[in-house]
Amino acid sequence: MPAQVELSGLLMVLPREPERSATPDTDGAPGMPTGNDVRLVTDDGTSVALDGGALTGARSGDAFTGVLAVDRRVVDELRGTSAPPTTDVGALLGDELDVALTVVTADIDPLTAAAVSPRAHTVDVMYLSTSSSDRPAASAFSKPVSRLSEFWSTQSNGQVSKITRPSAVRFATVKKAIACDPGAAWAYASGRSGFNRTGPSSGDRSSYYWASTRGAHLVVIVPGALCGVGNGLGTIGSVTSGGTTWSSVPTSPSRWDGVVFHEIGHNLGLGHSNLQACAHPRVDAGAGSSTCQQQPYADYYDVMGGGFSAATGHSNDHDIAALNVTHKAALDALPRSGSLRRVAISAGTQQTFTLQAASAASGLRGLEIVDPATSARLYAEYRSGGGRDAGSFYTEYSAHQGARDPMYAPGVRILKFPCTVGTASCESADSLILRNWTGPSTYRMSFAAGDDFVSYRTNSAGSSSVRVSVLSTGASSARVLVSFDSRLPSLQAPSVEITGTPRYYRTLTATSTGAWTSGTTVRYQWLRDGAAIPGATASTYQVTADDADRLLTVRVIGTAPGHARRVVVSPARRASGAWDPVTVSGVVTFPAGASAFDRTGVRVVAYPEGEQPPGAGAPPSTAVNATSGAYSLTGLPPGRWRFAATPGPGEWVGDRERQRDLGTGWHGGALVREN
């Protein structure tokens, strides 16, 4: 059975960055790692890898306190080393083994900032190399920072108002082991040999950037000839936070933009831009499909994709094109009032729209299409090759290649997120570009006038659930027709009722009678007087004080490929404010040598933590038996309580408190008191 350790500190979230090739195979390497790695940085600077579903949606700088599972054999082995017996097991794991600890329980306090719109960001820039002879001039950094500021200011819709460099660029000659290791480079650049910042973690000075809401970024630049051109790493943050970045760049500062912009994008909370690589003729994956895999970085139109250098000499490391529609949606940089339109079958089975170019500064620039078969969101954008895209890779490459290789031509593009924008599961999610098959082994990344995007075939009639037809394209806009299949069969669905007693702190369950169609994915949402209860999305729900005398229902949503979505709502149950009293008994352990005088008058007091139900009253207390130390508290409401032994007339100090989560049963135990 695994041992458990409790650790606390700050979370550092990093994208999994496979090494990027300067001339990648167009079929890529499906199955390469995607997603994020999460590390816990303790106050003394120890860094421990973490794993577990509780980390979904975490960002750099979030405060973490939790219990972690550790293989007991590993713990025994570590404790048998020459390390002092008081050495923390978590620190040993971080320093010695660097294994990921599984999170058993977690309390994560998100790093948040007051709403500031717009917010100015800053960059501290340091150039590390193994020789002073290959350094660019200090003046060479001004234009890249200016381009960085212009790009993220416009592509965030002004949420990043500007990016400035308040301090002079710093240079240092270091060993390759430091220059080419992002963590070592950040430690050097943020430490006494660099900008010497002080962050929330006293043992990790780079936390000044990645664990704060001041919008400060550490940009470490290293020569690509030393560490591999195009490689980089950046911490995952948000549009209001900062972060650390490490970029291995070409010699010319005019070609730094691709990797530097990309890593700052991670600091702002963005994931990668990948390709949904499916076997012909599929363009997307249905439930349980094994015919599609993500190809990391392969959306070369977008800055959050990978670096691409074609044999023709064209590359995407300069003249960066507009950010794609999915990432703009994630940044909330496309106002839904007119720039991003949700398209659903409820408005008609055929709907026509005029899309402005993705590079435009205003107008309708994105469609969020809700697939009626799966509830997934597809996104449509138009790449015209004009505006800020005029000198970009896809524009220049397609103009050079013409009909010989139209893979990266202008046109309407269809993308998706494997999540719902705005939810925790979508934090730093990777976007996916969907192919336009032109033959059994040939495809394009966009759709020209006359082309149709057809989602994967789903129902028995062989029709599609979503079709996007490109009616026309022009210099600044494209007309598209979105069609939905109205013949999708309905799901078989059970009836649903709420079982359990609707009293405070009791657990209710959404109980089904009957069965869903095979392969159905089911989601739950509990409602109070018809309004969704935030976070109540499991099949069970614990009644709270806010539910007293309110009507509770549960909405169950079923989706399955080839079927129309089905929604089932339970009959309402009225919750009661009444609660079941709990009795807590235990024993206070008196210190050795405590006199009768010391034992007299000691009491145990219960303090509520969190909400209390109606009529709970003041914190209760009870006297402790001066001989046995026994106590018994009756009539407590269920909930989270903290118990403490109060001093008698003696000189005792150092009370130890215990916390308990009280259900509706009897609870006992010992409350220990120490000198």
The predicted pLDDT at position 600 comes to 81
Average pLDDT over every residue of 26-36: 50
Least confident of 61-70, 107-116, 324-333, 586-595: 107-116
DSSP letter at 535? T
Give the pLDDT confidence score for residue 179 in this predicted structure.
97
Kindly state the DSSP code that residue 557 receives in the 8-state scheme: E
Mean pLDDT of the chain: 83
So what's the pLDDT on residue 110? 83
**DSSP element (H, E) containing 147:** helix 142-155
pLDDT tens readout for residues 395-419: 999 999 887 888 999 999 999 987 7
Show the CA angle centred on residue 104, arms to residues 100 and 107, nearest 5°: 105
Residue 93 clears pLDDT 60, i.e. is over it: no
CA 446 to chain centre: 28
pLDDT at 140 over 60: yes
Does 18 sit behind a cis peptide bond, omega within 30 degrees of 0 on the bond before it?
Answer: no
> Which of 142-156, 196-210, 407-421 has the largest mean confidence?
142-156
Kindly give the interhelix angle for 142-155 and 257-267, rounded to the nearest 10 degrees.
50
State the average pLDDT over residues 516-530.
91
CA–CA dist 228, 250 (Å, integer): 9
Considering only the top CATH level, what class is 3-18+33-109?
A: mainly beta
Q: How confident is the model at residue 648 (pLDDT cuts 50, 70, 90)?
A: low
Residue 172 sits at the vertex; the CA angle it makes with 167 and 173, to the nearest 5 degrees, is 170
Q: Which residues pair with 658 in a beta bridge?
A: 643
Residue 610 confidence (pLDDT):
66
More confident of the two residues 259 and 86: 259
Burial of residue 179 (number of CB atoms within 10 Å: 0-12, 13-18, 19+): buried
214-258 pLDDT, tens digit each:
899 999 999 999 999 999 999 999 998 999 999 999 999 999 999
The mean-pLDDT minimum among 353-357, 395-399, 550-554, 595-599 falls in 595-599
Output the pLDDT for position 186: 97
Domain with CATH 2.60.40.2700 in the chain: 495-575
> What whole-number distance in Å separates Cα of residue 432 and Cα of residue 284?
10
Pairing mode of beta strands 3-15, 63-70: antiparallel
Backbone angles phi, psi at 144, to 5 degrees: -60, -40
Pinpoint the residues of the chain covered by CATH 2.40.50: 3-18+33-109
Any bridge partners for residue 673, and if so which?
655
**Which whole number is the average pLDDT over 382-403?**
93
Residue 510 has pLDDT above 80, yes or no: yes
SS (H, E, C) 157-206: CCCEEEEECCCCCEEEECCHHHHCCHHHHHHHHHCCCCCCCCCCCCCCCC
Beta bridge partners of 292: 278
Q: Tell me which residue of 65, 70, 67 sits closest to 104, measured CA to CA.
A: 67
Q: What is the mean pLDDT of residues 376-395?
A: 95
- DSSP secondary structure code for residue 664 in this structure: S
Q: In this predicted model, what pLDDT tens digit does every residue of 257-290 receive, in sequence order?
A: 999 999 999 999 999 999 998 888 888 875 445 6
Mean pLDDT of 342-350: 89
Give mean pLDDT, residues 115-136.
88
Max mean pLDDT range (31-45, 335-349, 380-394, 591-605) = 380-394
- Both tokens of 42, joined, read 């303790």
| Tokens found for residue 266 | 């991670």
Most confidently modeled of 16-20, 415-419, 594-598? 415-419
Task: Check if the beta carbon of residue 383 is closer than 8 Å to that of residue 301.
Answer: yes
Q: Alpha-carbon distance 417 to 421, whole Å? A: 8
- Predicted pLDDT at 286: 57
**Rounded CA separation 543/244 (Å):** 43
pLDDT, average across residues 380-406: 92
Task: Examine the pLDDT at 27 and tell me if it is beyond 70.
Answer: no
The pLDDT of residue 44 is above 90: no
Does domain 495-575 correspond to CATH entry 3.40.50.300?
Answer: no
Among 143-147, 158-162, 577-581, where is mean pLDDT lowest? 577-581
Work out the burial of residue 46: count CB atoms within 10 Å of its CB; fewer than 13 is exposed, 13-18 middle, 19 or more buried: buried
**Interval 449-493: pLDDT, tens:** 999 998 864 433 444 579 999 999 999 999 999 998 767 677 889
Per-residue confidence (pLDDT) for residue 19, from 0 to 100: 55
In angstroms, the Cα distances linking 383 to 192, 358, 388 are 46, 6, 11
Other Cβ atoms less than 10 A from the Cβ of 607: the count is 14
Which of 318, 122, 130, 124 is closest to 222 using CA atoms?
130
- Closest CA relative to residue 284, chosen from 75, 100, 434: 434
Nearest to 101 by CA among 168, 162, 40: 40
Neighbours of 68 (CB within 10 A): 25
Nearest to 394, CA basis, from 314, 304, 488: 314
pTM assigned to the model: 0.70
Task: Take residue 491 and report the two structure tokens written for it.
Answer: 């799901």
Residue 592: which residues within 8 A CB-CB, separation 6 or more?
none
- d(CA 556, CA 496) in angstroms, rounded, equals 8
% residues pLDDT > 90 (the chain): 49
Q: Would you place residue 48 in the very low, low, confident or very high pLDDT band (cuts 50, 70, 90)?
A: confident
Per residue in 56-67, pLDDT (tens digit) is: 878 898 999 988
* Distance, CA of 618 to CA of 622 (rounded, Å): 13
pLDDT at 665: 35
The radius of gyration computed from the CA coordinates of the chain, to the nearest angstrom, equals 29
Helix (H) or strand (E) holding 669: strand 667-672
Query: d(Cα 217, Cα 235) in Å, to the nearest integer?
Result: 10
Mark out the alpha helices in 565-640 (DSSP H runs): 596-599
**Residue type for position 636:** L
pLDDT given at position 294 = 87
Contacts (Cβ under 8 Å, ≥6 apart) of 491: 516, 517, 520, 558, 559, 560, 563, 564, 565, 566
23 has a pLDDT exceeding 70? no
In which band, very low, low, confident or very high, does the pLDDT at 659 lie, cut at 50, 70 and 90? Answer: very low
Coarse DSSP helix, strand, coil percentages of the chain, rounded to the nearest 5 percent = 15, 35, 50
- C-alpha to C-alpha distance for 101 and 85, rounded to whole angstroms: 21
pLDDT at 337 over 80: yes
Percent of the chain, pLDDT > 70?
83
- Say if residues 46 and 202 touch (Cβ distance below 8 Å): no
Beta-bridged to residue 525, according to DSSP, are 555
Q: Which residues pair with 248 in a beta bridge?
A: 222
pLDDT given at position 657: 42
CA pair distance 573, 551, nearest whole angstrom:
6
Among 421-430, 441-450, 508-517, 622-631, whose mean pLDDT is lowest? 421-430
DSSP 213-265: SS-EEEEEEEEHHHH-TT-EEE----TT--EEEEEEE-SSGGG-HHHHHHHHH
Torsion sign over Cα 412, 416, 422, 428: negative
Where is average pLDDT lowest: 177-181, 188-192, 200-204?
200-204
Q: Quick one: average pLDDT of 81-86? A: 42
**The predicted structure's pLDDT at residue 81:** 46
Q: Give the range among 100-114, 216-230, 567-581 with minimum mean pLDDT.
A: 100-114
| pLDDT digits 0-9 by tens, 294-317 | 899 999 999 999 988 888 888 899
What pLDDT does 265 receive? Answer: 96
